[in-house]
Amino acid sequence: MSSMKELVEFMAKAVVNDPDSVIVREIEGSSATIFELSVTPEDMGRVIGKQGRVANAMRTLLRVAAVKEGKRVTLEIV
């Protein structure tokens, strides 16, 4: 398990009410790695935030990890 995936899981689990339902899928694309985050419908707002603020903060921090590993990443909430 990559540390980037752990990072997404760690952030998501810390802000939701139901951490056990947090699932992160890592999909290797040709040019970028996609992380798909899924949570319970009730927790969607918590990982997205007002005006996407939480999702964007997670993306920003994920990008730092990606730069460290020399990769391109996207985070999608599904």
Binding site for another protein (CB under 8 A): 3-4, 6-7, 10-11, 14-15, 44-45, 48-58, 60-61, 64-65, 67-69, 77
Q: Could you tell me the smallest distance in angstroms from the CB atom of residue 3 to another protein?
A: 6
The residue (of 27 and 44) whose beta carbon lies closer to another protein is 44
The residue (of 34 and 61) whose beta carbon lies closer to another protein is 61
HEC string of the chain?
CCHHHHHHHHHHHHHCCCHHHCEEEEEECCCCEEEEEECCHHHHHHHHCHHHHHHHHHHHHHHHHHHHHCCCEEEEEC
